[in-house]
Amino acid sequence: MARFFRDSTSSSRSSSDLAADADASASAATTAASSRTPPLPSPFPDLGVPLSAAELRATAYEVLVAASRATGAKPLTYITQSAASAASAAAPAPSLSSSIHRSLASTAAASSSKVKKALGLRRSSASSSSKRRGARRPATVAELVRVQLGVTEQADARIRRALLRIAAGQLGKHAESLVLPLEFLQQFKASDFLDPHEYEAWQLRYLKLLEAGLLFHPLVPLKKSDISALRLRQVIHGAYDKPVETEKNSKLLVELCSAARALAGRSLIETFDECHWADGFPLNLHIYQMLIEACFDSEDGAVVDEIDEVVEMLTKTWPILGINQMFHNLCFAWALFNHFVMSGQADIELLSGAGIQLTEVVKDAKTTKDPDYCDVLISTINSIMGWTEKRLLAYHETFSASNIDSMQGIVSIGVSTAKILAEDISHEYHRKRKQETDVVVHSKIETYIRSSLRTAFAQKMEEADSKRSSRHPVPVLSILAKAIGDLATKEKTVYSPVLKKWHPLATSVAVATLHSCFGNEIKQFIAGLTDLTPDAAQVLKAADKLEKDLVNIAVEDSVNIDDDGKLLIREMLPYEAENVMANLVKAWVKERVDRLKGWIDKNLQHETWNPKANGENFAPSSMKMMQIIDDTLQAFFQFPLTMHSTLHSDLATGLDRNIQYYVSKSKAGCGTQSTLIPQLPHLTRCDVGSKLFMKKEKPQVLMKRGSQVGSTTNGASVIPELCVRINTLYHVQTELESLEKKIKTYFRNVESIDRSTDELNIHFKLSQSACQEGIRQLCETFAYKVIYNDLSHVLLDSLYAGDTASNRVEPLLRELDPILRMVSGILHNGVRNRVITSLMKGSFDGFLLVLLAGGPTRAFTLQDSQMIENDFRALRSLYIANGRGLPEELVDKASSEVKNILPLLRTDTGTLIERFKQAISESCGSTAKSGFPMPPVPAHWSPSNPNTILRVLCYRNDEAATKFLKKAYNLPKKL
């Protein structure tokens, strides 16, 4: 590979020499083109192979000539008006997707349809065309394309000689059935080139093409074990270090041809005689994009007059490149837009043509589900959109009255690309109800307006910043208000007439944005005031005038518009409503809210969560916090304000967040499901008390479980602490309901409040939700700590370990009973059942964990099933407590999973094995003769789930289960 990368520059240089040696007209055109604006980056993915633009152009021309000669079409005619009208429609070509070998649904339009007319382009005269090129006018379309692609006459002659030789040896074959790089490799010899370096560059180009088309981007995906691919890669990499001998008996060439043809001949549908060396995505698009460039004058970038004939020629390459009408439309739209960019945005016709061509792309995108097309469509559209949005998001900097026409075309392009992405290729879009098209367009136009005006506003601010260093900075805001008024007038007269084509309220959006921008400044100014000075009054007066002007413009703009206009006007919140006192009160609100948060941090650090702290069994800090909040609200409503409802929302939001913060701190550090529930051990075969095993080993526990992560206290003290935390959150939740009623009372005592306003319906939604979620999490944490930590020794470590009959459920019941009594004595009535329900669910889950994931120390016989069922009934009865405990229907619901699994324990082994085979076949498909796939662990145990049945078999203590598991999985007998 060393030589490959060393000579890649040489290859590019030699290929560039081809273009440099072209006609004088092509050379001059290249020089002129280099002085234009640089093109946009290619929207197609990188090839991964260093093929230069010159190499791709040479390949594109070879494909074009081969396709034109091999299709049996009439000889390439001279450029005349009759030639354009006489050409026939192009043949269908395969697409890039899985439907590549189906007939194309659409073909190229007949040449008689004028492409320029369809794109709204003017046709230039022959004399002007020749004048542009600065040389004689090419005699044929083929010569025109050759010049446009920078191919020399010498190289063209060489290609055509080689094609004659190929045709002689491949009679009757179409170009799409030939691996052209191989054919050219065999035809070209060093003697065909004056410069040996040029010959070497030609060889390297073909090798790189084979590597790109057959190894990097094949149409049919390669398998890692593909022998032809491995052989081709070796041959190509060897050839990079040593030129290929092109003699017929050359061993290297024979190996190269054999491997390449084997790969190129692979097809998705084996009914076509085609070679897929260049129709893999994105190599074919890179080649075709070079062909598309022949549609444009290489000097000034304008569409050539002979566009109809050129496009007809290009369609002949479609079968080779796997291109169809949709890909052509997309590539041509990109090329039109790209040449508009390279023209320095001067050629408005190209922009208009790109917009018209994009309408065809929109139609195509709606009718195809080809994933390759969607990929390149997204990439192309994003590239175009990126360029347009960079200018439209700051259109005040890009456009003025002198070039406003180009703005209209660029906005049209931006809207079209946005609609394509939003409507036609978004999978999420199709899963939802279709949005109205104008909603997408309005949203995009609003984005342009708001972004551009924010940028323009920032520039006005910078102009005013130079005066802020003076001793009297206040009047600067007055100057800024005047500048913003002028900006609004310019927006209304220059830009809005263009944007209204897509958004009827463009002016309203603009003034609403300016109103918001200046509002931010005036609010900051007022926030720093302690009293009203003459300078402050001047600023406020200028702000008031600006606001009235902006509102009047918005009202005039929305006279004939219903809801949308009113929404934008309502967006313009009045400046004067925020008076000095209101701002001072806001500062007071912020200070109180911040102070409360600090108090919460300090007090919760020392909270003991002790049920003996007070007679209510909840944390004293919660009572104190709610008292502070009540005092704060009483003080707030003592202010002589006329806008309590507006300011109260700030206070209520701050208090709501503080209470939510208190709740989150109260449950912090108690553990989570991931830290408390033990992970399932690996599946093993039972290894305890069985006659099937020659050696008895001491019973092994499931796993040693010490204190859980984050736990610093023993089990006896954790239970009361968690109960107090749960009681505390329940207390806060009930106090919030009382607090909301008090707030309504405070409002009723304020005379200036509108009694019908919705502002009076205050709800601490964040806090209420946080309390509910916190109680749920703590209930789960309580259950996990008790079951998997405090009672691990009698459940996970002991229950049925070693011998089922000797280690039954009674020890677990004995230790659960005092816990239930303790919980009932501490918890509030409103949460008691929720906690006990969580504990019940945890114990049932733990019971199942022992039966289905208890490790090799558990071994069950059919006779054990009755004891296990009796134990489970005893566990259920503990929670029902003869009607004094949980409702029986609640216990039934929580125990349903266990009850569904228990019948498996009394099912004979043979039946279990057959049921397992059926379940694994249904879930995993056909199984190999060597064994069964390991079924995944389900979210919930189920008697029909193969993993659940397998676990029952693993702990079945009989010879049939042992033999089956040995043969199917060869499971170990130890963890």
Conformational region of residue 339, where left means phi above 0, alpha means psi within -120 to 50, and beta covers everything else: alpha
Q: What is the pLDDT of residues 706-761, one digit of tens each?
A: 322 223 334 455 889 899 999 999 999 999 988 888 888 877 776 555 555 555 56
What Å distances lie between residue 686 and 394, 428, 653, 805, CA to CA? 72, 49, 59, 16
Stated pTM of the model: 0.54
Asked whether residue 516 falls in the same domain as residue 590, the answer is: no
Instruction: Quickly state the pLDDT bin for 119 (edges 50, 70, 90).
Output: confident
Q: Which of 551, 573, 595 is the last residue of a domain?
A: 573
Residue 116 lies in a domain: no
Determine contact, residues 479/464, Cβ cutoff 8 Å: yes
Residue 21 lies in a domain: no
Q: What is the pLDDT of residue 726?
A: 93
HEC letters along 425-441:
CCHHHHHCCCCCHHHHH
Q: What is the pLDDT of residue 693?
A: 38
Asked whether residue 318 falls in the same domain as residue 373, the answer is: no
Burial of 369: CB neighbours in 10 Å, binned 0-12, 13-18, 19+: exposed
Asked whether residue 248 falls in the same domain as residue 392, the answer is: no
963 phi, psi to nearest 5 deg: -65, -45
Asked whether residue 310 falls in the same domain as residue 215, the answer is: yes
**Euclidean distance between CA atoms 120 and 292, whole angstroms:** 19
Asked whether residue 629 falls in the same domain as residue 667, the answer is: yes
User: In the predicted model, what is the mean pLDDT of the chain?
Assistant: 79
**Euclidean distance between CA atoms 245 and 542, whole angstroms:** 85
Residue numbers of the domain that contains 210:
44-69+139-323
107-112: long-range contacts at Cβ-Cβ below 8 A with a sequence spacing of 24 or more? 107/315, 107/325, 108/311, 108/312, 108/315, 108/318, 108/325, 108/328, 111/84, 111/85, 111/86, 111/87, 111/308, 111/309, 111/311, 111/312, 112/84, 112/85, 112/87, 112/308
Any idea which of 19-33, 183-197, 448-462, 614-628 has the lowest mean pLDDT? 19-33
What Å distances lie between residue 712 and 188, 239, 383, 671, 709, CA to CA? 82, 70, 58, 12, 9
Residue 884 lies in a domain: yes
Determine contact, residues 333/295, Cβ cutoff 8 Å: no
Residue 378 lies in a domain: yes
| Torsion angle defined by CA atoms of residues 506, 508, 510 and 511, in that order, rounded to the nearest 10 degrees | 160
264 phi, psi to nearest 5 deg: -70, -25
pLDDT, greater one: 106 or 381: 381
Q: Which of 553, 573, 593 is the last residue of a domain?
A: 573
Asked whether residue 871 falls in the same domain as residue 913, the answer is: no
Instruction: Quickly state the pLDDT bin for 639 (edges 50, 70, 90).
Output: low
Q: What is the pLDDT of residues 822-854, one digit of tens each?
A: 998 899 999 999 999 999 999 999 999 999 998
Any idea which of 85-89, 436-440, 815-819 has the lowest mean pLDDT? 85-89
Asked whether residue 880 falls in the same domain as residue 940, the answer is: no
Residue 374 lies in a domain: yes
Residues in the chain, how many?
A: 975
Conformational region of residue 800, where left means phi above 0, alpha means psi within -120 to 50, and beta covers everything else: left
> Does residue 826 sit in helix, strand or coil?
helix
Residue 839 lies in a domain: yes
Asked whether residue 173 falls in the same domain as residue 284, the answer is: yes
Q: What is the pLDDT of residue 975?
A: 60
Q: What is the pLDDT of residue 770?
A: 92
Asked whether residue 312 falls in the same domain as residue 440, the answer is: no
Tell me how many degrees the CA angle 252-255-258 measures, rounded to the nearest 5: 150
Q: Domain count of the chain? A: 4
Q: What is the pLDDT of residues 485-523, one digit of tens each?
A: 999 999 999 999 999 999 989 999 999 999 999 999 888
**Euclidean distance between CA atoms 923 and 952, whole angstroms:** 18
The percent of residues in the chain predicted with pLDDT above 90, rounded, is 33
Q: Cα dihedral sign for 439, 442, 443, 444?
A: positive
Q: How far is CA 778 from the centre of its chain?
A: 35
Residue 90 pLDDT exceeds 80: no
What Å distances lie between residue 834 and 725, 804, 837, 886, CA to CA? 14, 32, 5, 10
Both structure tokens of 781: 């944490």
Asked whether residue 168 falls in the same domain as residue 276, the answer is: yes
Residue 465 lies in a domain: yes
pLDDT, mean of residues 750-775:
73
Asked whether residue 538 falls in the same domain as residue 611, the answer is: no
pLDDT, mean of residues 244-265:
82
Residue 497 lies in a domain: yes
Asked whether residue 776 falls in the same domain as residue 824, the answer is: yes
Residue 797 pLDDT exceeds 70: yes
Q: Which of 573, 593, 624 is the last residue of a domain?
A: 573
Q: What is the pLDDT of residue 469?
A: 57
Instruction: Quickly state the pLDDT bin for 102 (edges 50, 70, 90).
Output: very low
Any idea which of 609-618, 884-893, 951-960 has the lowest mean pLDDT? 609-618
Q: What is the pLDDT of residue 748?
A: 75
Q: What share of the chain is helix, strand, coil (3-state, %, to 5)?
A: 65, 0, 35
Cis peptide before 504 (omega within 30 of 0): no
Q: What is the pLDDT of residue 537?
A: 59
